[in-house]
Chains A and B, each alone.
Chain A
Amino acid sequence: MNSNKMEDEEKTIAVAVLSAIIILAGLLVYMSLTPAPQEPFASLYVLDSEKKADNCPQLLVMGENNTFLLWVGVENFMGRIEYSSVLVKMDDGTGYTNPSPLDPVYRFEKVLLNKETWEFPITITINQTGQHRIIFELWLFNEFENVFSYSKNGWCNIRLDVLES
């Protein structure tokens, strides 16, 4: 009778340990499969005509290469759809930026799905010699205030020297 009792106890312990192992294994699998929550962000980048980051124009000669093509990209990792606006502004390189108070030369708008990347070409012609700066700003629509809000990390600029031919 005593040996039976012992067997019962051993079985109960075995079942309890097995259950605990199964629960722990389940938790570990869940934790490893669930990615850590990411900080939401939206970013803006500018590429050259061949979609490379290291070959953007810096020196232009009037009548030769003063018309050039750039690719502008916007990435949406905000965890929701975003109504984004890219403003292109131009100055001589001395004005205030982030954001620039100038009126935009071009404006592009698109609604982006979460994790969507939007790339579009832009052709720019500069007809004045001297120093120039092209500023790209990313603005996101704030549906609570019904206005576009400046995305603080969403800006970049290209400095150019334009020479007489």
Chain B
Amino acid sequence: MKTRLWLTLAFLTFLFVLVDPCTNLRVDFSLETPINEGIEEARAKFQEAFNATVEAEKTGAEVSEAVKKLNNALDYIFQAENLASQGDMEQALFWTQASIQLSEEILGLTQELKQQAETLRYTRLIVYSAISVVLLILGVYAFFIGRRRWKKHRQNKFMEMRVKGALAS
């Protein structure tokens, strides 16, 4: 009976050790694997953010702010790699997470930049089209007004000449 109690207690303790995340993190074996995976994940996220920035630039967006953030995310990855090679896994994990977070921020930013660029493009298109239509209307109007005035002017001149001719004769 006592042995069974001890066994149950030991089993429960073992389960607790498995469940507690802090205990898991303290084990070297389970730390090394997440840090390498973390750096890989950070690099993958960074590449995704870079690709999104390239796409945003293609739509005509101004991407200098996104590029600045990309370089920061890249610095964080290098920092994490250096710390991991020195054995400081906790700090390495911190920089990895910071890089992933920044890359996600860049993904959001590029979406905004893309939308802004598209809005600007449509606004430009509408403004230029409106200006063209107004200029066309003004041109047509000027043509008709000008022709009318020119005709009136010629008619007046003709009448003047006729009057002058009549007076001379």
Question: Which residues of A approach B to under 8 Å, CB–CB?
Answer: 4, 80-81, 83, 109-113, 141, 143, 146
Cα(A94)–Cα(B47), bound, Å? 35
Beta-carbon contact of B78 and A81 below 8 Å? no
Contact B67 A113 (CB under 8 A): yes
A80 in contact with B74 (CB, 8 Å):
no
Which of B58, B74, B78, B154 touches A111 (beta carbons < 8 Å)? B74
* B63 contacts chain A at the CB level, 8 A cutoff: yes
A113 to B58, CA, bound (A): 13
Interface residue? B53 (CB, 8 A): yes
Can you list, as one digit per residue, whether each of B41-72 has a CB less than 8 Å from chain A (1) or not (0)? 00000010011011001100001100100110
Give Cα distance in the complex from A67 to B107, angstroms: 42
Min CB distance A16 to B, Å, is: 15
**Chain A residue nearest to B46 in the complex (CB):** A83
Which residues in B have their C-beta under 8 angstroms from that of A146? 47
Q: Is the interface of B mostly helix, strand, loop or mixed?
A: helix
Q: Determine the residue in chain B with the shortest Cβ distance to A114.
A: B57
Query: How many interface residues does chain B have, given as a range?
Result: 10 to 19
Which residues of B are at the interface with A, using a C-beta cutoff of 8 A? 47, 50-51, 53-54, 57-58, 63-64, 67, 70-71, 74, 78, 154
A83 near B64: Cβ-Cβ < 8 Å: no
Pick from B57, B74, B154: contact of A81, CB under 8 Å: B57
Question: Does B57 lie within 8 Å of A83, measured CB to CB?
Answer: no
On whether the beta carbons of A141 and B47 are closer than 8 Å, the reply is yes
Inter-chain contact B63/A110, CB cutoff 8 Å: no
Contact of A110 among B57, B64, B71 (CB under 8 A): B71
8 pairs of residues in contact across A and B, judged by CB atoms under 8 Å: A80-B54, A80-B57, A81-B54, A109-B74, A111-B50, A111-B53, A113-B63, A113-B67
Chain B residue at minimum C-beta to C-beta distance from A111 = B70
- Bound together, the chains give a CA A4 to CA B158 distance in angstroms of 11
B53/A81 in contact, CB under 8 A: yes
